[in-house]
Amino acid sequence: MASLAPAEMQIRSSFDSVKEAKQEHEGRTGSSFGAYFNIISVCAGVGTLQLPYVLNLGGWIGLVLFVLAACMAIYTGTLLIRCLYAREGTRLSSYPAVGREAFGRVGHILVMFFNYTLLVGGGSIYVMLSGMNLAFLFPNVPLSPREWMAVSAAVILLPLLLLKTLKEAAILSVFGTLTTAAVAVITAALCGTMLGDEGHQAAHSLVNVENLPVALATISFAYSGNMVYPHVEESMRHPGSWSRVLTSAVATITAIYVTISVPAYLALGSDTLSPITLHLPAGTASFCANVLITIHVLLAAPILITSFTLDLERAWGIEVQRIGRVKEFLGRAFIRTASVTVAALIAMYMPSFGSFMSLLGAIDTCMLVFVLPIICYMRLFGWRSIRPLELVWCAIILIIGLMGCVLGSISAVKEMMEETTN
């Protein structure tokens, strides 16, 4: 990880060069602690539920993929933030702005497509999961899963209207992270009791080569924080600490994933399904786990959707300084209500949680997390600015990212078509 030091120094020095500008200085009052929890909250919730199934798909080799994906995500996340300071004397506002700076209008459109479809699609996954969980938790309430998804969307909308930026949403992230950690511990404990049952048997695989692309695509979604990183870093009072915050957050996320995935796959083997909490033995503990993960999803979804709407609000000039406080609130409320509505409709009509997550992971996150940060960085700073060993590392990341994107997309689409047919 020593190779990340120059990037961190560049972030620090680049920010120092613009810190006197009011436009860049405003809003930087968030703590590194809050940024740490924002990253975990966005990434860990859905990944916690899906990654035990990844071991079923790919076998125990999936644990190696966890660590590999974590290292790749830390590196590319650092490069992405460095790209925000590529233009001397200012800071680019978003991931799509980095695409424009690197490749002009084509780059802007390409990054915007991947970024926004992932933000809205990720929000849809959260709505879908919370609706499924609520239907599972309250079977006697005469509401279908789709109707529960509508209820979830309404709950998610409330903090979106009350909280304006990610700095203000940091408190949601703290509670979301704590609930995710609790779910991991409860699930691991339940799976441990299953291992102790007399006559317990489960089939395991070391490696399933044919499923590795879709496994990698799903893992990439579990580390897909890149689309919110520019907004998280924008809120930090000390942006030079970004690399340390990101490394700490991703390490924590990986620890949570291993804590829940290993016991679950040991206990369930080839019967491991997604989301894992809906396939645990019935009882108080599994009920509590589902309650906690539902709370996490409802708290984390506003962070994803806020990142999407902040870009729209900035692009459309919805700011207090320009249109006044009342019009700014009404415009913001309209955009955020429309965004949640779209996310809810997608959630209601997707065939399944697992295949939709795999598809998003393949198409969007493999590009946003692994491929585009490196391509944009090389375009903005030149490949000669990267040390030889780092160039090899970049090549490995690009190859893995592109393979996951192409092969993972094919596998996910086939799976989705089969589910739709059935």
Mean pLDDT calculated for residue range 116-125: 84
Q: Mean of the pLDDT values across residues 250-263?
A: 93
Q: What is the DSSP letter of 30?
A: B
pLDDT for the residue numbered 10: 47
pLDDT at position 281, please?
Answer: 78
Question: Given a cut of 80, is residue 163 above it in pLDDT?
Answer: no
Q: What is the pLDDT of residue 270?
A: 87
**Residue 57 and residue 208 in contact, taking contact as beta carbons nearer than 8 Å:** yes
Does 9 score more than 50 pLDDT? no
Whole-number pLDDT of residue 71: 96
Residue 165 parent element (H or E): none
- Return the CATH architecture of domain 2-421: Orthogonal Bundle (1.10)
Reported residue count of the chain is 422
Both structure tokens of 45: 């919730």
Model confidence at 205, in pLDDT bands (50, 70, 90)?
very high
pLDDT band at 168 (very low <50, low <70, confident <90, very high): low
Write the single-letter amino acid at 341.
Answer: T
Short-list 404, 35, 77, CA closest to 213:
404
Q: Which residues on adjacent β-strands are paired with residue 30?
A: 236
DSSP 192-244: HHHHTSTT------S--GGGHHHHHHHHHHHT--TTTHHHHHHTBS-GGGHHH
Confidence band (pLDDT; 50, 70, 90) for 20?
A: very low
- CA end-to-end span of the chain, whole Å? 47
Q: Per-residue pLDDT for 162 more than 60? A: yes
Residue 403 reports pLDDT greater than 60 = yes
Measure Cα distances from 99 to 33, 80, 248, 309, 416 in Å. 29, 10, 27, 18, 30
What is the mean predicted confidence (pLDDT) over 111-130? 87
- For residue range 32-72, what is the model confidence (pLDDT) as tens digits? 888 898 898 878 867 787 888 889 989 999 999 999 999 99
Average of pLDDT values for 123-151? Answer: 91
Share of the chain above pLDDT 70, in %: 88
- Which whole number is the average pLDDT over 294-298? 86
Is it the case that residue 208 has pLDDT exceeding 60?
yes
242 pLDDT more than 50? yes
Asked if pLDDT for residue 134 goes beyond 90, the answer is yes
pLDDT for residue 357: 67
For residue 109, with 0-12 CB atoms within 10 Å meaning exposed, 13-18 middle and 19 or more buried, which class applies?
Answer: middle
Lowest pLDDT segment from 20-34, 94-108, 281-295: 20-34
Average pLDDT of the chain to the nearest whole number: 84
Cβ partners under 8 Å of residue 64, min gap 6: none
pLDDT per residue as tens digits for the range 360-376: 777 888 899 999 999 99
Q: What is the DSSP letter of 386?
A: S
